[in-house]
Protein backbone atom coordinates (compact mmCIF):
# COMPACT_ATOMS: atom_id res chain seq x y z
CA UNK A 1 0.00 0.00 0.00
CA UNK A 2 1.45 3.32 -1.05
CA UNK A 3 1.36 5.88 1.74
CA UNK A 4 1.63 9.10 -0.23
CA UNK A 5 1.76 11.37 2.78
CA UNK A 6 4.75 9.53 4.21
CA UNK A 7 6.55 9.66 0.84
CA UNK A 8 5.90 13.38 0.40
CA UNK A 9 7.10 14.12 3.91
CA UNK A 10 10.24 12.04 3.32
CA UNK A 11 11.11 13.79 0.07
CA UNK A 12 10.48 17.27 1.48
CA UNK A 13 12.68 16.42 4.46
CA UNK A 14 15.67 15.73 2.23
CA UNK A 15 18.19 18.54 2.17
CA UNK A 16 17.60 19.50 -1.45
CA UNK A 17 19.42 22.83 -1.30
CA UNK A 18 22.65 23.94 -2.88
CA UNK A 19 25.91 22.72 -1.39
CA UNK A 20 29.07 24.83 -1.01
CA UNK A 21 29.38 24.89 -4.81
CA UNK A 22 25.76 25.94 -5.20
CA UNK A 23 24.75 22.60 -6.68
CA UNK A 24 22.10 20.09 -5.61
CA UNK A 25 23.36 16.58 -6.39
CA UNK A 26 20.58 14.04 -5.79
CA UNK A 27 19.32 10.81 -7.39
CA UNK A 28 22.31 10.76 -9.76
CA UNK A 29 21.29 14.19 -11.10
CA UNK A 30 21.89 17.83 -10.46
CA UNK A 31 18.62 19.41 -9.36
CA UNK A 32 17.47 22.98 -9.33
CA UNK A 33 14.65 24.44 -7.31
CA UNK A 34 13.62 26.55 -10.26
CA UNK A 35 11.08 29.20 -11.10
CA UNK A 36 7.80 27.94 -12.55
CA UNK A 37 7.28 31.35 -14.11
CA UNK A 38 10.58 31.06 -15.94
CA UNK A 39 9.68 27.73 -17.50
CA UNK A 40 6.25 29.02 -18.42
CA UNK A 41 7.47 32.26 -19.94
CA UNK A 42 10.00 30.58 -22.22
CA UNK A 43 7.89 27.55 -23.14
CA UNK A 44 4.75 29.53 -23.91
CA UNK A 45 6.70 32.11 -25.91
CA UNK A 46 7.89 29.23 -28.09
CA UNK A 47 4.41 27.72 -28.35
CA UNK A 48 2.76 31.05 -29.18
CA UNK A 49 5.40 31.84 -31.77
CA UNK A 50 4.70 28.48 -33.41
CA UNK A 51 0.93 29.06 -33.28
CA UNK A 52 1.39 32.28 -35.22
CA UNK A 53 3.39 30.46 -37.88
CA UNK A 54 0.95 27.66 -38.58
CA UNK A 55 -0.08 24.15 -37.65
CA UNK A 56 3.07 22.41 -38.81
CA UNK A 57 5.15 24.63 -36.55
CA UNK A 58 2.82 23.95 -33.63
CA UNK A 59 3.27 20.21 -34.10
CA UNK A 60 7.05 20.55 -34.06
CA UNK A 61 7.05 22.85 -31.03
CA UNK A 62 4.79 20.52 -29.07
CA UNK A 63 6.95 17.54 -29.99
CA UNK A 64 10.05 19.31 -28.73
CA UNK A 65 8.45 20.46 -25.48
CA UNK A 66 7.00 17.01 -24.83
CA UNK A 67 10.37 15.49 -25.66
CA UNK A 68 11.84 17.57 -22.84
CA UNK A 69 9.22 15.93 -20.63
CA UNK A 70 10.34 12.49 -21.83
CA UNK A 71 13.91 13.37 -20.94
CA UNK A 72 12.74 14.59 -17.54
CA UNK A 73 10.81 11.40 -16.84
CA UNK A 74 13.59 9.12 -17.99
CA UNK A 75 16.30 10.79 -15.94
CA UNK A 76 14.45 12.22 -12.96
CA UNK A 77 11.78 9.57 -12.41
CA UNK A 78 14.19 6.83 -13.46
CA UNK A 79 16.96 8.22 -11.27
CA UNK A 80 14.64 8.43 -8.29
CA UNK A 81 13.42 4.86 -8.79
CA UNK A 82 17.02 3.65 -8.76
CA UNK A 83 18.01 5.71 -5.73
CA UNK A 84 18.80 4.74 -2.16
CA UNK A 85 16.01 7.02 -1.02
CA UNK A 86 13.50 5.04 -3.12
CA UNK A 87 14.83 1.79 -1.69
CA UNK A 88 14.53 3.13 1.84
CA UNK A 89 11.16 4.87 1.70
CA UNK A 90 9.07 3.68 -1.25
CA UNK A 91 10.29 0.14 -2.00
CA UNK A 92 8.94 -1.32 1.27
CA UNK A 93 5.45 -0.16 0.21
CA UNK A 94 5.54 -1.79 -3.24
CA UNK A 95 3.26 -4.80 -3.63
CA UNK A 96 2.95 -4.85 -7.42
CA UNK A 97 4.48 -3.36 -10.54
CA UNK A 98 1.59 -0.90 -10.66
CA UNK A 99 2.64 0.38 -7.24
CA UNK A 100 5.81 1.69 -8.89
CA UNK A 101 3.58 4.13 -10.78
CA UNK A 102 1.68 5.10 -7.63
CA UNK A 103 4.95 5.43 -5.72
CA UNK A 104 6.62 7.74 -8.20
CA UNK A 105 3.44 9.81 -8.50
CA UNK A 106 3.64 10.26 -4.72
CA UNK A 107 7.22 11.50 -5.16
CA UNK A 108 6.08 13.90 -7.89
CA UNK A 109 3.66 15.31 -5.33
CA UNK A 110 6.65 16.62 -3.40
CA UNK A 111 8.24 18.45 -6.34
CA UNK A 112 5.95 21.50 -6.48
CA UNK A 113 4.35 20.54 -9.80
CA UNK A 114 0.69 20.60 -8.67
CA UNK A 115 -1.17 17.60 -7.33
CA UNK A 116 -0.98 14.45 -9.49
CA UNK A 117 -3.48 11.61 -9.09
CA UNK A 118 -3.59 8.24 -10.82
CA UNK A 119 -7.09 8.21 -12.23
CA UNK A 120 -6.90 4.95 -14.16
CA UNK A 121 -4.13 2.42 -14.62
CA UNK A 122 -4.49 -0.65 -16.83
CA UNK A 123 -1.33 -2.69 -16.43
CA UNK A 124 0.81 -2.52 -19.53
CA UNK A 125 -1.87 -0.69 -21.51
CA UNK A 126 -2.99 2.69 -20.28
CA UNK A 127 -2.42 5.34 -17.65
CA UNK A 128 -4.58 8.39 -16.99
CA UNK A 129 -3.19 11.01 -14.63
CA UNK A 130 -5.14 14.05 -13.52
CA UNK A 131 -3.33 17.09 -12.21
CA UNK A 132 -4.86 19.73 -10.00
CA UNK A 133 -3.04 23.05 -10.25
CA UNK A 134 -0.31 22.03 -12.70
CA UNK A 135 2.29 24.75 -12.77
CA UNK A 136 2.02 24.93 -16.53
CA UNK A 137 -1.73 25.60 -16.52
CA UNK A 138 -1.29 28.04 -13.62
CA UNK A 139 1.26 29.94 -15.69
CA UNK A 140 -0.92 30.05 -18.76
CA UNK A 141 -3.97 31.29 -16.87
CA UNK A 142 -1.90 33.95 -15.09
CA UNK A 143 -0.73 35.55 -18.32
CA UNK A 144 -3.11 34.52 -21.10
CA UNK A 145 -6.82 34.16 -21.79
CA UNK A 146 -8.43 30.72 -21.64
CA UNK A 147 -7.59 28.79 -24.79
CA UNK A 148 -10.20 27.42 -27.15
CA UNK A 149 -10.49 23.67 -26.58
CA UNK A 150 -9.51 22.96 -30.17
CA UNK A 151 -6.14 24.64 -29.55
CA UNK A 152 -5.21 21.90 -27.10
CA UNK A 153 -3.62 22.05 -23.68
CA UNK A 154 -0.34 23.55 -22.53
CA UNK A 155 0.98 20.93 -20.10
CA UNK A 156 3.77 19.53 -22.25
CA UNK A 157 5.93 18.58 -19.26
CA UNK A 158 3.09 16.54 -17.74
CA UNK A 159 2.37 14.95 -21.11
CA UNK A 160 5.95 13.84 -21.57
CA UNK A 161 6.21 12.80 -17.94
CA UNK A 162 3.18 10.50 -18.03
CA UNK A 163 4.37 8.81 -21.22
CA UNK A 164 7.77 8.44 -19.62
CA UNK A 165 6.33 6.71 -16.56
CA UNK A 166 4.67 4.05 -18.69
CA UNK A 167 7.76 3.60 -20.83
CA UNK A 168 9.93 3.11 -17.75
CA UNK A 169 7.58 0.46 -16.35
CA UNK A 170 5.98 -1.31 -19.29
CA UNK A 171 8.09 -0.67 -22.41
CA UNK A 172 11.37 -0.94 -20.56
CA UNK A 173 11.67 -2.36 -17.08
CA UNK A 174 12.96 0.01 -14.44
CA UNK A 175 12.43 -2.69 -11.81
CA UNK A 176 15.46 -4.54 -13.23
CA UNK A 177 17.66 -1.51 -12.50
CA UNK A 178 18.84 -0.74 -16.05
CA UNK A 179 21.53 1.80 -16.78
CA UNK A 180 19.82 5.06 -17.71
CA UNK A 181 22.03 5.72 -20.70
CA UNK A 182 21.28 7.13 -24.17
CA UNK A 183 20.80 3.72 -25.76
CA UNK A 184 18.19 2.77 -23.16
CA UNK A 185 16.48 6.10 -23.69
CA UNK A 186 16.35 5.44 -27.42
CA UNK A 187 14.86 2.01 -26.79
CA UNK A 188 12.16 3.36 -24.51
CA UNK A 189 11.06 6.31 -26.61
CA UNK A 190 11.32 4.90 -30.12
CA UNK A 191 8.49 3.05 -31.89
CA UNK A 192 7.15 0.42 -32.06
CA UNK A 193 5.48 -0.27 -28.77
CA UNK A 194 6.40 2.87 -26.90
CA UNK A 195 3.81 4.79 -24.94
CA UNK A 196 2.69 8.18 -26.21
CA UNK A 197 0.63 10.57 -24.10
CA UNK A 198 -2.03 13.11 -24.95
CA UNK A 199 -3.44 15.86 -22.78
CA UNK A 200 -7.18 15.37 -23.19
CA UNK A 201 -8.29 18.16 -20.85
CA UNK A 202 -6.42 21.23 -19.63
CA UNK A 203 -7.27 24.00 -17.20
CA UNK A 204 -5.75 26.42 -19.69
CA UNK A 205 -8.59 25.41 -22.03
CA UNK A 206 -11.32 25.69 -19.44
CA UNK A 207 -11.24 22.27 -17.74
CA UNK A 208 -11.32 21.91 -13.95
CA UNK A 209 -8.14 19.83 -13.97
CA UNK A 210 -5.59 18.67 -16.48
CA UNK A 211 -5.84 15.04 -17.63
CA UNK A 212 -3.23 13.13 -19.58
CA UNK A 213 -3.63 9.66 -21.05
CA UNK A 214 -0.74 7.45 -22.14
CA UNK A 215 -1.28 4.51 -24.47
CA UNK A 216 0.96 2.44 -26.71
CA UNK A 217 1.54 3.96 -30.11
Beta pairing partners, 61: none
Contacts of 145 (CB under 8 A, 6+ apart): none
Provide long-range contacts, Cβ within 8 A and 24+ apart, for 24-32: 26/83, 27/76, 27/79, 27/80, 27/82, 27/83, 27/85, 28/79, 28/82, 28/83, 28/180, 29/75, 29/76, 29/79
CB of 205 to other proteins, least distance (A): 21
Task: For 199, list phi and psi in degrees, rounded to 5.
Answer: -85, 110
* Near other proteins by CB under 8 A: residue from 6, 23, 125, 175: 23
- Contact call for residues 100 and 94 (beta carbons, < 8 A): yes
- Site membership for other proteins, residue 8 (CB under 8 A): yes
Residue ranges in 51-80 that form contacts with other proteins under rule CB under 8 A: 60-61, 64-65, 67-69, 71-72, 74-76, 79
- Site membership for other proteins, residue 115 (CB under 8 A): yes
Q: Which of 37-45, 122-130, 143-151, 198-206 is the region at the interface with other proteins (rule: CB under 8 A)?
A: 37-45
Count the Cβ atoms, other than its own, within 10 Å of residue 130.
19
* Near other proteins by CB under 8 A: residue from 41, 120, 149, 177: 41
Provide long-range contacts, Cβ within 8 A and 24+ apart, for 182-188: 185/71, 185/74, 188/74, 188/164
Nearest of 85, 82, 72 to residue 34 by alpha carbon? 72
* Near other proteins by CB under 8 A: residue from 2, 109, 171, 196: 109
- Site membership for other proteins, residue 110 (CB under 8 A): yes
CB of 52 to other proteins, least distance (A): 12
- Site membership for other proteins, residue 39 (CB under 8 A): yes
CB of 72 to other proteins, least distance (A): 4
CB of 23 to other proteins, least distance (A): 5
Which residues here bind other proteins, judged by CB under 8 A?
5, 8-9, 12, 16-18, 20-24, 27, 29-39, 41-43, 45-46, 49-50, 60-61, 64-65, 67-69, 71-72, 74-76, 79, 108-116, 132-133, 135, 138, 157
Amino acid sequence: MIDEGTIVDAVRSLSLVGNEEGLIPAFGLYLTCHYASYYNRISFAYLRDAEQRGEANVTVARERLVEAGHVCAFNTFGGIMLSQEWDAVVAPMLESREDWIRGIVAVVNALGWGRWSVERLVAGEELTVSVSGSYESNGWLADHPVRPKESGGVCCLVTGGVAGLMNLLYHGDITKRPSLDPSYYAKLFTPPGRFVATEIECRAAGAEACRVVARRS
